Amino acid sequence: MFIIGNGRLVTRDLAAPFYENGAVAIEGNVIRKVGETKALKEEFPQAEFVDAKGGVIMPAFINTHEHIYSAMARGLSIKGYDPKGFLEILDGQWWTIDRHLTNEATRQSARVTFLDSIKNGVTTIFDHHASFGEIHDSLFAIEDAAKEFGLRTCLCYEISDRDGMDKARESVMENAAWIRHALTDDSDMIAGMMGMHAQFTISDATMELAAANKPEEVGYHIHVAEGIEDLHHCLKHYGKRIVDRLMDCNILGSKTLLAHCIYVNPHEMELIKETDTMVVHNPESNMGNACGCPPTMEIFHRGILTGLGTDGYTQDMTESYKVANVLHKHHLCDPNAAWSEVPQMLFEGNAKIAGRYFKKPLGVLKEGAAADVIVTDYIPRTPMTKDNVNSHILFGMTGRSVVTTVCNGKILMKDRELIGIDEEKVLYEVRKEAEKLAHSING
């Protein structure tokens, strides 16, 4: 048992949201108690004490849309790549990379993504994977890395017909094998979804194959209307809008997660709401790909469960928070937009989304919740209260503020030092693999 205390404690538990000098007592992989530091120390005198040194103690971050496969793109220059639009970004960069990924390259991409996630205080990751260079067992290669680093993951493989029907079938089967594996695992550390790229690269036949191989306990994780091209394709080939096609293919539902939703209309939002389907917003990626600004504020105001992801851009959830905050103000010409919606997406939405796949409560510090806790070294310059916590996070913290990360009751990083992981060695091995990948792509 150990106690993390002597810090400003943000619990995200409405019953007791903030302690000026608070502590969390952790026993095994759950939280035993939350309270004043002095009281907890007296109640559990034998517990080891981890000193937060006046920093902020809060629930670890959850990332509900990530792409491990993109990890080795940093600094990579692909010969002839000069995109004029979103489809050229996909084909020229992301599909080019994933066509060259072996399972070893996938594993190394996962290792460096997880390393960076720990350093940014993220302990639960919903990944959306593609590696058409080697599909079979690729999700299990990611699991190897997740176990090595001690993080919680919900994985899927993005089904697509883009490289032919044999690979589409293989990607369905990889999802099915992974989901079966995750459903029989009782660690509460892994979960699976039926991954899908986007409707414009998936035929009805492949949709049917996926449905036939999907256990009913899980849903889909799919990109929706990320580019206007996706909508045009659907109207042209199916005579209907994207969410209507997904409805007709029985994709929507409370376990299904739709990424982006930029080009969706009010009718489609109604379908998403009626079916209790989840949405994840990725502001930085949408801006970077010049895809447009999604109507996320409207989606949120309609009561649709909405989370915040990074789409592989970063492992720093505060970066997504900062970008979403200014994106919607800018786009709507409304200085009042997004103040409360974005932190609700990050802290409540992501926790609820995770709650649909994991048993123990995540994103909250209270008795019985998962022991996923972070400490940041942030010392406020103005009074910090239960009512202005999010403003302190938005304007005062970055992922680099995280000094200690605990996942499932295990300390993975303490005072910025990774525990049991040789960071230099990991980065050396990842760089070697990235060099191989660049050579494989550019010859």
Contacts to Zn ion by CB under 5 A: 311
Q: Smallest distance from the beta carbon of 259 to Zn ion, in angstroms?
A: 5
CB nearer to Zn ion: give 230 or 311: 311
CB nearer to Zn ion: give 74 or 79: 74
Length of the chain: 443
- Whose CA is closest to 139, among 121, 113, 158? 158
CB nearer to Zn ion: give 231 or 374: 231
Q: Smallest distance from the beta carbon of 192 to Zn ion, in angstroms?
A: 17
Q: How far apart are CA 247 and CA 249, in angstroms?
A: 5
- Token pair for 266: 């009010």
- What is the β-pairing status of strands 278-281 and 306-308? parallel
By Cβ distance, which residue is nearest to Zn ion?
311
Q: Smallest distance from the beta carbon of 425 to Zn ion, in angstroms?
A: 30
Q: Smallest distance from the beta carbon of 111 to Zn ion, in angstroms?
A: 20
Q: Smallest distance from the beta carbon of 231 to Zn ion, in angstroms?
A: 17
- Token pair for 151: 């993080």
Q: How far apart are CA 423 and CA 269, in angstroms?
A: 44
Q: Smallest distance from the beta carbon of 7 to Zn ion, in angstroms?
A: 34
Q: How far apart are CA 407 and CA 1, in angstroms?
A: 14
CB nearer to Zn ion: give 170 or 311: 311
Q: Smallest distance from the beta carbon of 261 to Zn ion, in angstroms?
A: 12
Tally DSSP H helices, then E strands, for the chain: 17, 18
Q: Smallest distance from the beta carbon of 423 to Zn ion, in angstroms?
A: 27
- Token pair for 146: 């997740």
Q: Smallest distance from the beta carbon of 183 to Zn ion, in angstroms?
A: 24
- Token pair for 187: 């660690």
Q: How far apart are CA 302 and CA 45, in angstroms?
A: 48
- Sheet with 194-198: strands ordered across: 194-198, 220-224, 257-260, 278-281, 306-308
CB nearer to Zn ion: give 310 or 404: 310
CB nearer to Zn ion: give 284 or 311: 311
Q: How far apart are CA 18 and CA 240, in angstroms?
A: 48
Burial 300-320, CB ≥16 within 10 A → b, else e: beeebbbbbbbbbbbbbbbbb
Q: What is the DSSP string of 283-294?
A: HHHHHHTT----
Q: How far apart are CA 338 and CA 323, in angstroms?
A: 11
CB nearer to Zn ion: give 314 or 390: 314
Q: Smallest distance from the beta carbon of 401 to Zn ion, in angstroms?
A: 26
CB nearer to Zn ion: give 311 or 341: 311
Q: How far apart are CA 392 and CA 246, in angstroms?
A: 40
CB nearer to Zn ion: give 206 or 282: 282
Q: How far apart are CA 227 and CA 9, in angstroms?
A: 41
Burial of 123: CB neighbours in 10 Å, binned 0-12, 13-18, 19+: buried
413 has which bridge partners?
Answer: 405, 418
CB nearer to Zn ion: give 293 or 418: 293
